[in-house]
Amino acid sequence: MISHEQYLKLVETLNQHACHYYDENSPVISDAEYDLQYRQLEVFEAALPLMTHPESPTKRVGGAISRGLVPFVHSARLPSLGNVFNDEELTQFYDRIQKDITDTDIEFTVEPKIDGLAVALHYQKGKLVAGATRGDGLTGENVTANLRTIKSLPQQLTQEVDIEVRGEVYMRRSVFETMKTEYANPRNTAAGAIRQLDPQVTASRQLDIWVYQGIYPGILTHFEMMAFLRELGFPIAADISIAKGIEDISIKCHEVFTHKSTYDWEIDGAVIKVNRFGYQEELGFTAKAPRWAMAYKFASETATTKLKDIIVQVGRTGVLTPVAILEPVKVSGVMVHRATLHNLDEIERKGIKIGDDVLIRRAGEVIPEVIVSVNSSEDHLEFKMPTHCPVCGTAVQQIEGEVGVKCPNRRGCAAQLKGAILHLAGRKAMDIEGLGDKLVDQLVDLGHVKSLSDIYRLDFETLSSLDRMAEKSAKNMLAAIEKSKTQSLARFIFALGIPFIGERTAAILASHFGSMETLMAATFEELLSLREVGDKIAAMLLETMADANFMQEVAYFIELGVIPQHLQTEPIDGPLSGRRFLITGTLSSMSRSVAEKRIVELGGVIAPGVSATLTDLVVGDSPGSKVAKVEKLNAKRDEASRIRILDDAAFSKLIG
């Protein structure tokens, strides 16, 4: 058998060969030679499994290596956090929890929110075995080799435990200042560094990490978990504190805020968490974030600048939005040129006039907004909302029940058409790569596209005649359009841009109705029977289906070869995302098909049978052999990674 040193060398060379083979399509050794060396690896790993290198080619499927970073499926979804921006919103969060949990004395923890990049780290017997970026929450990228370059991250824990921890990779401000990078701030530099293909480049960026979550059985509170993680050798935020009652929570958050500038790392707020894991479980998750935690973001990411002008934009749904054109100013590392003013009421309420100095805020990923005028004058110009659409000239209308106005010329307004096309082509809709605003502007302005379905009528001649469209880009564009024809039904429904039909509702409609024809024949009652569909959505769907122009468009799409794939399901973003369910036996409260539909609507997946990837087994009356199979699998696992066994009552509670 080969030595450990030879083994490591072989891992490296075989990975390189795999790269030549899969990535560059130019193998440098024969298949037989590769197989021989591969077998040597297998022999070594079979004899010494603990020495298996996480990047060994035996751990990888075929060409997964080809795109550099390898996907990593998380053990459970990495959620993001909801945001509050002031004490009033914080109180609403607190009141909501008090309403759901009967304990009058609930403990919370307050800790800094580090502005970096979320990662999940897996340890086996105390050794770091894998680490991945958050990605879309369900699947990230395996960046183990890069994470190993972080000096503050222990490779070996003080106890031989199997544990998963989550944390934030960041770059110290002092390091960022000495570093000339192409990035605007430490956060982006850290994110760029962790996704490098070459760990040596990552190492040169001198990253750090804080750990803020641990998944390990037998610990009852977040505070105790943090102490345990510290004991294991992880760096955790030093100033985590316990708070009780809204005043205390607010004070502790503001304490974090006041310390902001004293830290050598960027923080963008405080995180408030319900301390007791039992309560966390009771509160559960919304589609995107835990109900038991909240980020209190600084409202202080503000700057003052001059308001040069106010223009009016017309969105895809025709709503007119006033937009502030600003003297460019840097807010938390990003140059801001424009900010939203929402609507006329807001402008008047905030006393904003053109020429004023205004305070602007940029909070997280939210579009910057103008908060208030700080220096106005009598002779500054008052803004008036146009009475006619600035794009098509149609008289605007008040939006029923709202303060804004909209252009009613849905089909004839170029701005609305452009918005609708960009929505249709968007990454979450038909995903037509390269169909961006510059191209859409030309297509609409030159009259090549007059309705949504015209996108599928575009030909090579038209595309190649456009500005900045060489022969190759025109061909690529046509290929991207062609490819989009077989997107899933859920994406197609979403792409149509029906008011109120977001991604999630579209996926639910697709999974329930299964085809465009069945959806179009749905009755009000049938629509309402879906839990996520209320009066407003059902009425809008029926109104849309009764619109002859809309139906004509749908017919054109199909005629032009857009065939939404009914069987191809889109994962629904929901509280059960990342979980795989199997039902055995008869449920008393509902039929199996209803139960399965509900699981899918909430983001879960129905597993074909008992396997290692199953997360939940729902057990009804007279269950089959599946229970025994799951128990057998569970016997080999620690508590945290066991497959959950839910009875009828627990399952009903879970699906609400």
What's phi and psi for 449, nearest 5 deg?
-125, 115
Q: Nearer Cβ to ligand IVH, position 283 or 372?
A: 283
Q: What are the residue numbers of the active site?
A: 113
Q: What is the number of helices (H) and of strands (E) in the chain?
A: 24, 22
Q: Residue 127, CB half-sphere, CA atoms under 13 Å: how many?
A: 7
Q: Nearer Cβ to ligand IVH, position 267 or 336?
A: 267
CB of 276 to ligand IVH, least distance (A): 15
- d(C-alpha 548, C-alpha 23), whole Å: 50
Q: Nearer Cβ to ligand IVH, position 276 or 491?
A: 276
DSSP bridge partners of 644: 616
| Helix/strand/coil (H/E/C) assignment for every residue in 317-343 | CCEEEEEEEEEEEEECCEEEEEEECCC
Q: Nearer Cβ to ligand IVH, position 118 or 191?
A: 118
CB of 290 to ligand IVH, least distance (A): 5
Q: Nearer Cβ to ligand IVH, position 238 or 555?
A: 238
CA distances from 159 to 219, 602, 635 (A): 15, 38, 23
Contact 419, 316 (CB under 8 A): yes
- d(C-alpha 241, C-alpha 222), whole Å: 11
CB of 296 to ligand IVH, least distance (A): 11
Burial of 642 (0-12, 13-18, 19+ CB in 10 A): middle
- d(C-alpha 531, C-alpha 80), whole Å: 24
* Contact positions vs ligand IVH (CB under 6 A): 79-81, 111, 113-114, 118, 168, 212-213, 271, 290, 293, 295
Burial of 313 (0-12, 13-18, 19+ CB in 10 A): middle
Please list, in sequence order, all residues whose beta carbon lies within 8 angstroms of the beta carbon of residue 72, skipping any fewer than 6 positions away.
130, 132, 133, 135, 139, 140, 141, 142
What's phi and psi for 328, nearest 5 deg?
-55, 140
In this structure, how many other beta carbons lie within 10 angstroms of the beta carbon of residue 437? 11
- Report which of 185, 201, 123, 202 is spatially closest to residue 156, judged by C-alpha positions: 123
Please list, in sequence order, all residues whose beta carbon lies within 8 angstroms of the beta carbon of residue 517, skipping any fewer than 6 positions away.
none
CB of 289 to ligand IVH, least distance (A): 7
CB of 111 to ligand IVH, least distance (A): 5
Contact 162, 638 (CB under 8 A): yes
CB of 84 to ligand IVH, least distance (A): 12
Q: Nearer Cβ to ligand IVH, position 212 or 581?
A: 212
| Helix/strand/coil (H/E/C) assignment for every residue in 287-300 | CCCECCEEEEECCC
In this structure, how many other beta carbons lie within 10 angstroms of the beta carbon of residue 114? 24
CB of 271 to ligand IVH, least distance (A): 4
CB of 192 to ligand IVH, least distance (A): 16
Q: Nearer Cβ to ligand IVH, position 229 or 496?
A: 229
Q: Nearer Cβ to ligand IVH, position 167 or 318?
A: 167
CA distances from 145 to 70, 137, 179, 198, 266 (A): 12, 20, 22, 9, 25
Contact 135, 91 (CB under 8 A): no
- d(C-alpha 108, C-alpha 110), whole Å: 7
* 185-190: Cβ within 8 A, 24+ apart: 185/266, 185/332, 185/333, 185/334, 186/115, 186/116, 186/265, 186/266, 187/115, 187/116, 187/117, 187/266, 187/333, 190/116, 190/117
- Give the total residue count for the chain: 656
Please list, in sequence order, all residues whose beta carbon lies within 8 angstroms of the beta carbon of residue 509, skipping any fewer than 6 positions away.
490, 493, 501, 519, 530, 533, 541
Burial of 339 (0-12, 13-18, 19+ CB in 10 A): buried
Q: Which residue is nearest to ligand IVH (CB)?
A: 118
CB of 264 to ligand IVH, least distance (A): 15
Burial of 436 (0-12, 13-18, 19+ CB in 10 A): exposed
What's phi and psi for 607, nearest 5 deg?
-85, 150
In this structure, how many other beta carbons lie within 10 angstroms of the beta carbon of residue 20? 14
Q: Nearer Cβ to ligand IVH, position 21 or 170?
A: 170
Q: Nearer Cβ to ligand IVH, position 295 or 496?
A: 295
Q: Nearer Cβ to ligand IVH, position 237 or 507?
A: 237
CB of 404 to ligand IVH, least distance (A): 29
Q: Nearer Cβ to ligand IVH, position 113 or 598?
A: 113
What single letter denotes the amino acid at residue 647? D
CB of 79 to ligand IVH, least distance (A): 5
Angle between helices 548-559 and 535-545 (to 10 degrees): 70
CB of 211 to ligand IVH, least distance (A): 9
